[in-house]
Amino acid sequence: MGNNPKNQDGIEQEPIVGEIPDDPLTGHAYDGIQEFDNPLPGWWKWMFIGSIMFAFPYAAFYHGGAEGRTATERYDKALAENIRLQFAEIGELKMDRATVVKFLYEPNWLRVGKSVFKTNCVSCHGADGGGLVGPNLTDDAYKNVKDIGDILNVLENGAAGGAMPAWKTRLSPNELVLAASYVASLRGTEAADGKPAEGRVIAPWPEAPPEEAPAADEAADETKEDASEDASEPTAEKAAT
């Protein structure tokens, strides 16, 4: 011993044993460890460079602020289109308490009400109805609502001098009714960070209306829909409890 080379700290290093590939060295040595010049494979480097180049047009296209390009916006558009098609199916709804109650027990249509809510109401009532500027819609206390029909009134005409805007002129009757049913359905759900209850606790919503026999063709339509939609089962369950 004693003949081994010393590193910069003066510590002896074992000589390198075994085969040394004859790749060219970079000339760098750290603590006696020499660095080979092994470049990354060409295909890897080109993929890397290619992905960087791809990123710029991609970011410009999707995040450049142009309308209707993000997945969310395209989804919203498709959804709106779909709602219009669906509305053709139910025709114009009556704007009354009975209709709000009826659709409270129709999960498929509540989804339409939900999309109206997501588009117009979350800014003040929170994504899950827990309340922001507007009150919490998930608890049992309401400020302007004593009966389920009042929800529709509040939606149509607003409340608190416009702090809750009137939607009569901005939403179609179907949107108003289904949004009202959806708001009613929020009652009793859990909202993350919900605001404390405001107003007075009111009686529970009415039970699902008994299966009435509507006009013959309408009834046929409905049974067809129930049979084809798998989500019709929860309706029956909810109605039964």
Q: Which residues bind ligand HEC (CB under 6 A)?
A: 117, 120-121, 123-125, 133-135, 137, 142-145, 151, 154-155, 159-160, 163-165, 167, 179, 183, 199
Rounded to a whole number of angstroms, the minimum distance from the CB of residue 45 to ligand HEC is: 52
CA terminus-to-terminus distance, the chain: 89
Q: Is the CB of 164 or the CB of 177 nearer to ligand HEC?
A: 164
Q: Is the CB of 7 or the CB of 87 nearer to ligand HEC?
A: 87
Complete DSSP assignment for 40-79: PPHHHHHHHHHHHHHHHHHHHHHHS--TT-SHHHHHHHHH
Dihedral angle sign, alpha carbons of residues 134, 139, 142, 143: negative
Rounded to a whole number of angstroms, the minimum distance from the CB of residue 229 to ligand HEC is: 24
Cα–Cα nearest to 193, from 100, 146, 109, 127 = 127
Rounded to a whole number of angstroms, the minimum distance from the CB of residue 171 to ligand HEC is: 7
Q: Is the CB of 90 or the CB of 154 nearer to ligand HEC?
A: 154
Q: Is the CB of 90 or the CB of 171 nearer to ligand HEC?
A: 171
Rounded to a whole number of angstroms, the minimum distance from the CB of residue 68 to ligand HEC is: 23
Rounded to a whole number of angstroms, the minimum distance from the CB of residue 96 to ligand HEC is: 16
Contact 183, 152 (CB under 8 A): no
* Cα 140 to Cα 117: distance, rounded to the nearest angstrom: 19
CA 76 to chain centroid: 10
Print burial letters for 143-180: b (CB count within 10 Å at least 16), e (below 16): eebeebbbbbbbbbebbeeeebbebeeebebbbbbbbb
Tokens coding 194: 């919900």
* Cα 51 to Cα 46: distance, rounded to the nearest angstrom: 8
Rounded to a whole number of angstroms, the minimum distance from the CB of residue 46 to ligand HEC is: 51
Q: Is the CB of 69 or the CB of 118 nearer to ligand HEC?
A: 118
Q: Is the CB of 177 or the CB of 183 nearer to ligand HEC?
A: 183
